[in-house]
Structure 1
Amino acid sequence: MKLAVVGGGSTYTPELIDGFARLRDTLPVEELVLVDPAADRLELVGGLARRIFAKQGHPGRIVTTSDLEAGVAGADAVLLQLRVGGQAARDQDETWPLECGCVGQETTGAGGLAKALRTVPVVLDIAERVRRTAPDAWIIDFTNPVGIVTRALLQAGHKAVGLCNVAIGFQRKFAALLDVTPGQVHLDHVGLNHLTWERGVRLGGPDGENVLPKLLAEHTDEIAADLHLPREVLDRLGVVPSYYLRYFYAHDEVVRELRTTPSRASQVAAMEKRLLEMYGDPALDEKPELLAKRGGAFYSEAAVALASSLLRGTGDVQVVNTYNNGTLPFLADDAVIEVPAVVDADGARPLPVAPLEPLFAGLVANVTAYEDLALEAALRGGRDRVFTALLSHPLIGQYEYAEALTDRLIAHNREHLAWA
C-alpha cells in the first residue's frame, strides 16, 4: 500500500507519522511519500519521520520529494494538508478583518474566504495531476476550509472525502470524562465543517444509550471552559457546540480579544521555528510534546481510520465531510456536510440524521449559502463575487463591511489571485 502526503513538510507531519507507526495493523503502509516544494523543511521532517518508523519497528519506506507527479504516482491514497501562503498569509487573514470590526480567523468569516480563494485553485490543480498519475487514488482532504475544498473536489469529479479533527477530539474528551475507551463513544455530530453540534453521545454504537444529558449534568463547567463559552450557553442549548461556534455566539467578545492579543498565526510561526529546530536533532525519534500545542490533535488517528476504511472497505462509521444527498433535507444534495457516515471502498454515505432544530438549521442554511458563493468566487474570481460572498456571511452581512473587506482581501492576496 502506497500513501502520499502533499504538504509533507508541514510541522504537523510527525503527528501523522506517529499514527501510521502505531496503527500499522489498521493501515499497513509499505511506502509513504512526503511531497513538499520546501526542500529544507521536507528533509528535516522526513528525517524525523524515518527515525519514528525505525524506533517503532515499522517496516515501511519513507520517501521525500518535491516532484508531485513522482510522489503520487501509483498511490492508493493522497492526503492533502496545504497552507497556500504559509503562516504569513494566515497572519493577514487573522488581522485585516479586525480593522472592520469583524472576526479575523483562518476558516471563518473574511479570513476564511481569503483562504478559500487562495486554496481551491491550487488543490484542484493538484487533484488533476493526481488523477493523471494515480487515477484510482482516494483524496483525503485535511486542508482548510475543508467543507469548501471538499466540495470543489467532489464537484470536479474526484474521489474525495474531507476530514476534520474536531469530532475525534470530542470523542476522546468525552471518553475520558466517562472513563470508557474512545471506541465505545459514538457522536450525534451534525452540521458543516467548523459549524457543528454534538446532539448526542452514545455508548456502544450509533444506536446506543445517549449519555449526553449525564455528561452535561456532571461536566458542563469543564466542557464550557474548553469552549471558552459561559456554561449558561450549554445549559440553554442542551448540546455541545464546536468551539468554532464561539465566533458566532460571542463574535464581538472575540473581536475585542483578538485586537489585544498576538495573532494565532504569529504564535504558531514561533512554535514552528522551534519544532523545525527540534526535528533537526538526529537524536529525536518521537514526536515532541510541543507538537500537541501546534493543533491537529488526533489528526493521525482520524486519518488512519479513514484511509483504512476507504482502502480496505471495512464499512466503519466515521465523521467526515461528504455530499449531503438528502441527509439534511433543507440543503441541496451537493452541499457538503459533516456527519457520521459509513465509509467503505465506494466512499462515504451519511447515516440518517434526526431533523435539525431551527436554531441550528437556520445557521447551517445561511453558511451553506455563503459556501456556495465562496466556491463560485474561488472558481471564477472577480471582485463582485468576493463582495457577494462576504455580504452573505452571517458574521458580516452589512454592505459597508463587505465593501471594505473586499478591498482589503484583494489587496492582501493579490499575488495568489490570478484574476486580481
Structure 2
Amino acid sequence: MDGLKIVTIGGGSSYTPELIEGFIKRYDELPVKELWLVDVPEGNEKLKNVGALAKRMVEKAGVPIDIKLSLDRREALPGADFVTTQIRVGQLGARAKDETIPLKYGVIGQETNGPGGLFKGLRTIPVILDICRDIETLCPDAWLINFSNPAGMVTEAVLRYSNISKTIGLCNVPIGMRMGISEMLGVDVERVHIDFAGLNHMVYGLNVYLDGKNITDDVLNKLVSGEGMTMKNIVNLGWEKDFIKALGALPCPYHRYYYQTSKMLEEEQKDYAEKGSRAEVVQQLENELFELYKNTELSEKPKQLEERGGAYYSDAACSLINSIYNDKQDIQPVNTRNNGAIASIPAESAVEVNCVITKDGPRPIAVGDLPVAVRGLVQQIKSFERVSAEAAVMGDYHKALLAMVINPLVPSDSIAKDLLDEMLEAHRYYLPRFNENVVS
C-alpha cells in the first residue's frame, strides 16, 4: 500500500488535535497518506481552524500526511480505509436541553444516561445510519470506528440496521479507569490489566491485575478509602465501603448515576443552580480551545484539551486503527458484536468487552456470565439500548416511550410520558421522523 486514507466525520471537533497527534506519533508503523476532516456547513469555521492547526502539527512533525478539509462526506469517502465518526447532532445546544429538561421532573439530566442518553441516541442514530449507507456505496471495505455517543447504542443500531459488519464503537472510560488505577497504585499503566465486560458507560472491571497478579481486592479497598476514580464531567462522590465489597467488581464512573442516583441528582441540581448545565461549562471550554487553535504559532495539541470530559478518545482510536492495520493481536476494550462473550447478552448485540485486535477486527474474549450482582442492571440497560435504537430508526413514539420507562433513571411511567413529550418538542428540528408523532 502507498499509504492509508482515513476520513474523520466531525473533523471540526475540539478533539481532532489529539487525533492528529496520535497519527503523528504512530506514523512509522501507521503510514497515513491522506486524512480528510469532514464537517457540516454549520461547523465550517471550526473545521477551518482545526484544519489549519492540523496542518501546522503535521508540518512541524515532518510527516507526509496530506490534510484535506471538506463539507461533503461523499467527496471524502471514496477509497477510504478507515472512517471515524465523532459527531454531535444539535451541538451543545441540544446537549443543554438533554441535561436541563429532565431536572424539571426530578430526573438525572446527563448526556449519555437516562433521558439525555435516549435523546442523544434518537438524534444521532439516523445520521450515523445515513453515513453507513454512504460507506456501503463509496468505500465498502472501510472500517467504521465510531466514538459518537452514546457509543454502545450507536453500535447496536449499526449492527442491526446497516449492512456494515466492519464496525467498532470506542469509549474512553476503560482507558480512564486503567489510568486511574495505575495512578492509584503509583505504577506505569502498562503494568495494569483489567478484565472489562459490560456495556458502554455500564462497563465493569471484573478483575484487576498488576504484573499478572490479581489485585482486585486491594484495588477495591483503595477505592473505598477515598482514592476514587472519576472523570472531568462526573462528580466524585466516593463509594460506600460495604457496597463496593458486596459488589466485588470495579464500577465505572458512570455507575454513580445508577448506584447513587439521589446524591447525583442533588449534585446536578446544585451545580446547575451555581454554574449552569455541563453543556454551558463545556461551551466555555470549547470557546477557549478554539481561540487557542486560531493562534498561528500553535503547532501542537494544547494541554487544556485534557479538561474536556472525552480526553483520550482520539488516542484510543489511533491505537485501535494501528492494531487492525498491523494485525497486532493486542488486547483492547471496544464495543463490538457480542458473539457469546457475555453469556446473558444476545450474540448479535453490542457489548463493551476486552478483545484481541486483529487485521480482521476484534475477537471478543469470553467472560462467561456476568456476576449476578451486576447482571440484571446490564440486561436492563441493554433492553433500553435495543428499544431506543428501534425507536430512532422507525421514528416510533411508542417505542421511545417504552425506552424511557425501561430506563432505571426514570422513576415512573407518568413522568416518562410528560418528559418524553417535552423533549420531543424541544428537539423537534433534529427528529424529523418523530414530527408527526410528538403525542400519541
Q: Could you tell me the TM-score, scaled by structure 1's length?
A: 0.95
Mapped to 2, the partners of 1:258 and 1:220 lie a distance apart of 22
1:280-291 → structure 2 map (5 Å cutoff): 280-291=294-305
Mapped to 2, the partners of 1:214 and 1:354 lie a distance apart of 24
Q: Hey, what does 2:350 align to over in structure 1? A: 336
Mapped to 1, the partners of 2:280 and 2:92 lie a distance apart of 7
CA contact (8 A) 1:117 1:377 kept: yes
Q: Hey, what does 2:438 align to over in structure 1? A: none
Deviation at 1:225, TM superposition (A): 5.9
Mapped to 2, the partners of 1:225 and 1:294 lie a distance apart of 16
Mapped to 1, the partners of 2:182 and 2:5 lie a distance apart of 32
Q: Hey, what does 2:126 align to over in structure 1? A: 121
Mapped to 2, the partners of 1:317 and 1:272 lie a distance apart of 33
Mapped to 2, the partners of 1:381 and 1:221 lie a distance apart of 47
CA contact (8 A) 2:401 2:416 kept: yes
Deviation at 1:218, TM superposition (A): 4.4
What is the SS of the residue equivalent to 2:228? Answer: helix
2:239 is aligned, of 212, 230, 250, to 230
Confirm or deny that 1:215 pairs with 2:222: no
CA contact (8 A) 1:26 1:304 kept: no
Q: Which residue identity does 1:230 align to in structure 2? A: W
Q: Hey, what does 1:301 align to over in structure 2? A: 315
CA contact (8 A) 1:116 1:144 kept: yes
Q: Hey, what does 2:171 align to over in structure 1? A: 164
2:395 is aligned, of 381, 386, 395, to 381
Deviation at 1:141, TM superposition (A): 0.5
CA contact (8 A) 2:136 2:163 kept: no
Deviation at 1:395, TM superposition (A): 1.2
Q: Which residue identity does 2:249 align to in structure 1? A: V
Confirm or deny that 1:88 pairs with 2:97: no
**1:76–1:200 CA distance, 2 compared to 1 (3 A):** same
CA contact (8 A) 1:138 1:310 kept: no
CA contact (8 A) 1:369 1:392 kept: yes
Q: Hey, what does 1:27 align to over in structure 2? A: 30
Q: Which residue identity does 2:167 align to in structure 1? A: A
Q: Which residue identity does 1:199 align to in structure 2? A: L
What is the SS of the residue equivalent to 1:247? Answer: helix
Aligned-pair identity in percent equals 40
What is the SS of the residue equivalent to 2:176? Answer: helix
1:11-410 → structure 2 map (5 Å cutoff): 11-37=14-40, 38-155=43-160, 156-158=162-164, 159-204=166-211, 208-218=212-222, 220-224=224-228, 226=230, 227-232=236-241, 233-261=243-271, 262-410=276-424
What is the SS of the residue equivalent to 1:186? Answer: strand
Deviation at 1:289, TM superposition (A): 1.7
CA contact (8 A) 2:86 2:146 kept: yes
Report which stretch shifted further, 4-13 or 63-72.
Answer: 63-72
CA contact (8 A) 1:187 1:200 kept: yes
Deviation at 1:195, TM superposition (A): 0.5
Deviation at 1:28, TM superposition (A): 2.2
Mapped to 1, the partners of 2:222 and 2:199 lie a distance apart of 28
Residues 206-251 of structure 1, C-alpha deviations (whole Å, 9 max, x = no match): xx32122233344643442634323524344232211110111111
Mapped to 2, the partners of 1:372 and 1:86 lie a distance apart of 24
Mapped to 2, the partners of 1:325 and 1:274 lie a distance apart of 44
What is the SS of the residue equivalent to 1:200? Answer: strand
Mapped to 2, the partners of 1:34 and 1:265 lie a distance apart of 24
Deviation at 1:178, TM superposition (A): 3.3
Mapped to 1, the partners of 2:29 and 2:102 lie a distance apart of 43
Report which stretch shifted further, 350-359 or 68-77.
Answer: 350-359
CA contact (8 A) 2:387 2:403 kept: yes
Gaps of 5+ in 2: 231-235, 436-440
Confirm or deny that 1:5 pairs with 2:8: yes
**1:178–1:254 CA distance, 2 compared to 1 (3 A):** closer
CA contact (8 A) 2:156 2:386 kept: no
CA contact (8 A) 1:221 1:231 kept: no
Deviation at 1:348, TM superposition (A): 1.5
CA contact (8 A) 2:193 2:210 kept: yes
CA contact (8 A) 2:177 2:229 kept: no
Mapped to 1, the partners of 2:306 and 2:278 lie a distance apart of 15
Mapped to 2, the partners of 1:331 and 1:355 lie a distance apart of 9
Q: Count how many residue pairs are aligned between Structure 1 and Structure 2.
A: 417
What is the SS of the residue equivalent to 2:133? Answer: helix
Residues 146-194 of structure 1, C-alpha deviations (whole Å, 9 max, x = no match): 0111111122121200000111112222223334432332211111000
CA contact (8 A) 2:146 2:169 kept: yes
Q: Which residue identity does 1:144 align to in structure 2? A: N
Q: Which residue identity does 2:154 align to in structure 1? A: V
CA contact (8 A) 1:76 1:311 kept: no
